[in-house]
Structure 1
Amino acid sequence: MEAAVFILSLIDCCALIFLSVYFIITLSDLECDYINARSCCSKLNKWVVPELVGQAIATALMLVSLHWFVFLLNLPVAAWNMYRFIRVPLGNMGVFDPTEIHNRGQLKSHMKEAMIKLGFHLLCFFIYLYSMILALIND
């Protein structure tokens, strides 16, 4: 049972890592003017809800399996994703809005957030991998 939880978490974490890399590449393309703000934001907004769901699944798996340390590690990121999704202003296109992404340094903050999430997911990947191997050895 414990090994299955960590295998599912590992798969989920891999998807979140690829999603974080996609966010970084897309935001970098916008920064270098390879794509316009509207197409960049529409590409990124498609993946905001799947990212939120993936992080919620990882958090819920750790809660259900009673791995408190990893649950508490995942909880702030899941709460931050939910907060960002709920706090979208009424007229905006989504979390990433083409009219505001160049204003007030939002592009830099989105890029920094994507880098932090990538680092977090890489850390979680190795924690899940170690825990999975430990669970498989103990079974």
Structure 2
Amino acid sequence: MASEIFVWLLSFFTLIAVLAMVIYQLMCLADLEYDYINPYDSSSRINSVVLPEFVVQGLLGLFFLFTGHWVMFLLCMPYLYYNVKLYMQKQHLVDVTEIFNLLHREKMRRLFKLAYLCILLFMCIFWMIWSVLEDDNVAE
């Protein structure tokens, strides 16, 4: 059962990393909106973390698949599908020339991602606590 707790801890920290990347993107968009940063810097900062976000989220989904956590894998699939769809349509990067026109849409996209990741994080914490309590019940 200690391995089960390790799996949930690893997935928890991976979700925290993805959350941090999405929050960083939102901060860059907010800085651009309030004119603290120029469009080129903002788009280059956002674009530098988009692909790592996609890769880490994909690895998290594969991790859930390989460890046999089917519910969490199925919960990760819509987010992963959305990322793959964005990548295939070449809409995953922020264009420096269109960033002001698409600012509201880009912020809303990341806010939805943030809400979805918070739900996944809550579920991960729930299953982590569940496995710890289950381990205590087995030990007694």
What TM-score range do you get, normalising by the shorter chain? 0.7 to 0.9
Let me know the Cα RMSD of the aligned residues. Answer: 1.5
TM-score (norm 1): 0.87
CA deviation digits over 1:30-82, x for unaligned, max 9? 11121111110100110011100111121112111222222111111112112
Matched residues, percent identical? 31
Partner of residue 108, structure 1 = 104
Read off the aligned partner of 1:98 and give its amino acid letter: V
Do residues 98 (structure 1) and 100 (structure 2) align? no
Alignment equivalent of 2:117, drawn from 109, 116, 121: 121
TM-score normalised per structure 2: 0.87
Structure 2 unaligned regions, length at least 5: 136-140
SS of residue paired to 1:47: helix
Of the three residues 66, 74, 79, the one matched with 1:64 is 66
Question: Which moved further from structure 2: 41-50 or 64-73?
Answer: 64-73
2:138 corresponds in structure 1 to: none
Return the alpha-carbon distance in structure 2 between the equivalents of residues 18 and 39 of structure 1: 19
Pairing 1:27–2:29 present: yes
1:14 maps to amino acid = I
- The equivalent position to 1:78 in structure 2, one of 77, 80, 87, is 80
CA deviation vs aligned residue, 1:78-108 (integer Å, no higher than 9, x gap):
121122223227xxxx6111012223xx211
Q: Once superposed, which parts of structure 1, at least 4 consecutive aligned residues long, lie more than 6 Å away? A: none
Give 1:4's match in structure 2, choosing from 6, 16, 36. 6
Q: Distance in 2 between matches of 1:11 and 1:118?
A: 15
Counterpart in 1 of 2:57? 55
**Structure 1 residues 7-43: Cα deviation after superposition (integer angstroms, max 9, x where no partner):** 1110001111111111111101111121111110100
